[in-house]
Amino acid sequence: MKSHCRNTVAFFIVIETGKNTVDIMKGMRPPLTPTSKSNAVADAEIAFQENRYVDVIEILKTLPQHTARSNELMGYCYGRLGNLKETEKYLLAASKKTESSIEVFYYLGLLYLEKNKTSTAINYLKTAISKYDHFYEAHYLLGTALVKINKLDEALKHYLKALTINSHSADLLFNLGNTYEAMGEVNIAITYYEKALEINPSHINTILNFGVIQGQLGNHAKALDCFKKLVNATHIDHLTLADAHTNLGLLYSELGHYAQAEKSLQRSIELNPLLAESFYHLGILNDQQKSYELANHLYKKAYQLEPNKDYVMGRYTVSNQLIGQWGESKDLIKKIEESVQLKKNIINPLDLLYISDQPKLHFECVKTYSKKRLITPSSPFQYQAKDPAQKIKIAYVSPDFKNHAVTNLTAELFELHDRTAFEVIGISIKKQAQNDQMRERVMNAFDTFYDLEDTLSDDQLLELCRTLNIDIAIDLAGHTLHSRPSIFKQRIAPIQMSYLGFLGSLGFENMDYLIADKTIVPETISQYFYEKMMYLPECFQINDSRRIRPVNKVNPPSLGLPEDGFIFACLNNRIKVTPKIFHAWLAMLKATSNTFLWLISESPESDDRLKKMAQKESIEPSRIIFTNKLPFEDYLASYLSADLFLDTYPYNGGTTISDALWMGLPVLTLSGQSMPSRMGKSLLKNCGLEELVTESLDEYIALAISLASSPSTYQHYHELLAKTLSTAPLFDTPRTVQYIESGYKEAMRQFTNNLGRKNIEVKPVEKL
């Protein structure tokens, strides 16, 4: 959810709600010693008190020479009349007089802040404070100016000083909360927001930001109450009302109330057609409903309005990739890489994996993301020590216990755990349909299965998990949809691990280990992980050896495939198909005859774009074939109609590669530097097909052409896979389970003996 606050300053209008700035100044500063004045200045003072600003100017114009006070009065009056040029002229003249008042420096700071000359404003405000340290408004405004240039620590000092002078300002308390929130100190921010609401329960900006934080913490009921209060408020400007509708729409979307979400987001756009955030979230809503073309249009609008808005550029870029609209890709990716290096929240960590093969960049991105999006620990974790003879309690946490790629891989892991050594629980953090066969299977696989409500806040979920006295908690989702990484950042177990769901560091130090192997995470890139490695000796990926293996081929014409010809297939999600990899595939088609490229369809429009690109390369568009997603058994059987699976890069296939190999289909992969780009290499290495791992795009293209052009070469790899399939480590699930359990035991030993976190290298065993 978003936090939106406006710290704009209207000249001479409002600092404290309902008070005139000049009146505040008179009430707080030490009285000036009266000085002798000309009758003109005295008359001007009276006219000023009576708000006769034009008269003041006319009176003072008769003076042959201005004093500090007459310049000051002229400046104030021109300010009241909206003539900021003359205001600046007279206040500057006043400031150069030794007898000028401290207010002159304050108002010059206010003036220059309004003109976006922030550094100049800061200098004048500091001068005002140097003359009178208890100048409340100057400290307040200086804090605001420093926030504007992102000097948050210094801003806090002045806000806190202002608080010692006046602790009953809802505006000040709001700004303190807003600053702490920007620094990632969410719990402190909440405290100040609550204090602001005690003083003024109708403080609009505080209600908005407080609602945003509650939504981020999963306190949906509190967030909903805040946003409904705002959209029903009578005294609220249309821009803030638009913000409220944006956040209400986002909340409804998270709760799965898509019609209400769309209504709120559309209302936000009606109120403020320039609000990029509303277009962005409406895009996400359409993405979730698989309306990818409309989503892309909305992301583009958000990008045009505010290109540097958090995550907008990244989502727009990846959306373009998904629908095959690649014209801007190169320039956008360059901008994203530069922004990530500057620690800007320009792209979320998962989206970056689809477009970049730079482990260091991935790490920078996820650290920045986790610092901003995940709350800081609210209470220390306490672990109840247990008898070493007791079973190790392990908990798998996931929003995806259903027919989902990760669950399809891990189902047998849950079933095969050694119950004499382990107690195995499942914690489902997302409600799912009850008629899902895979969900039913995994529910029966756990000793205890906690089917939790989506409405639980992070604090409630954290508290519940901590009461279970878990020894090892395994996060299967990372930074993917509906995950709850905040509970792991705050810690729910003394040992926490990340596995399968997110291929990279989670970006915070409380995630202790990542389950990997030395192929997918070689030691050369381990520096880009907070986690220590739990290295399995063979393949990091567990598999389900109980899954079906259809023997009957799906009729090729029913898939849109020809009866004969060589079929290059890639059934990876289309979001993984980059311009570079697609043009490599076109090169393969161009260099071979009677070959076809078979892909998953995302939308008719995106399919047409790829066909047109082929046509531009003088390739018959009919050689590119698209198939809609199939039921699981038909999907597996469809691999029997293909000849070679072409992997994507920089994000390799995972479950899709395992499925292809399981069905006896050779896979060609392109390996890179980062974890997602090395997944295919690990899988092929553990299936006897390491020779089909390439290290460059040219090698990838050349080997594909060779396999399609040489039946004997292709047949060699096809037969090799058939021969090794039954003994391949990739599909030896009991052995992989044993490796994982050995790693768990070693992690427990390190913790129990206070050895600190160290890489774990599980030793290989003979085939069971």
CA angle, residues 660, 678, 704, in degrees to nearest 5: 55
What is the rounded distance in angstroms from the CA atom of residue 734 to the CA atom of residue 433? 29
For the chain, list residues with pLDDT below 50.
1-37
Q: What is the pLDDT of residues 77-125, one digit of tens each?
A: 998 998 999 999 999 999 999 888 999 999 999 999 989 999 999 999 9
Query: According to the model, what pLDDT value does residue 518 have?
Result: 98
What is the rounded distance in angstroms from the CA atom of residue 182 to the CA atom of residue 150? 9
Q: Which residues contact 241 (CB under 8 A, 6 or more apart)?
A: 230, 231, 233, 271
Q: Which residues contact 206 (CB under 8 A, 6 or more apart)?
A: 170, 173, 174, 177, 193, 196, 197, 200
Query: According to the model, what pLDDT value does residue 378 have?
Result: 67
Query: According to the model, what pLDDT value does residue 256 have?
Result: 87
Query: According to the model, what pLDDT value does residue 12 have?
Result: 36
Instruction: Dump strand ranges (E) for 517-609.
Output: 532-535, 566-570, 595-600
What is the rounded distance in angstroms from the CA atom of residue 578 to the CA atom of residue 182? 35
Which residue is it, tokens 């007459």? 70
Task: Yes or no: say if 132 and 126 are a contact pair by the CB < 8 Å rule.
Answer: no
Side chain identity, residue 249: G
Query: Would you give the end-to-end CA distance of the chain in angstroms?
Result: 49
Parallel, antiparallel or unpaired: strands 644-646 and 566-570: parallel
What is the rounded distance in angstroms from the CA atom of residue 404 to the CA atom of residue 296? 25
Residue 652: closest CA among 670, 629, 673: 670
Instruction: Dump strand ranges (E) for 542-589.
Output: 566-570
Q: Which contacts of 445-450 are long-range, i.e. CB under 8 A and separated by 24 or more positions? A: 445/411, 445/414, 445/415, 446/396, 446/414, 447/419, 447/423, 448/423, 449/425, 450/425, 450/426
What is the rounded distance in angstroms from the CA atom of residue 192 to the CA atom of residue 188? 7
Backbone angles phi and psi of 255, in degrees to 5 = -85, -5
Question: What b/e string do you get for 281-295 counting C-beta neighbours within 10 Å, with b at 16 or more?
Answer: bbbbbbbeeeebbeb
Task: Yes or no: say if 139 and 161 are a contact pair by the CB < 8 Å rule.
Answer: yes
Q: Which two tokens stand for residue 278?
A: 């509303």
Q: Which two tokens stand for residue 482?
A: 């509906």
Q: Which residues contact 58 (CB under 8 A, 6 or more apart)?
A: none
CB atoms within 10 A of CB 452: 18
Query: According to the model, what pLDDT value does residue 600 have?
Result: 96
Residue 97: closest CA among 120, 62, 73: 73
Task: Yes or no: say if 318 and 575 are a contact pair by the CB < 8 Å rule.
Answer: yes
Q: Which residues contact 33 (CB under 8 A, 6 or more apart)?
A: none
Query: According to the model, what pLDDT value does residue 377 have?
Result: 61
Domains with residue ranges and CATH for the chain: 392-535 (3.40.50.11380), 556-731 (3.40.50.2000)
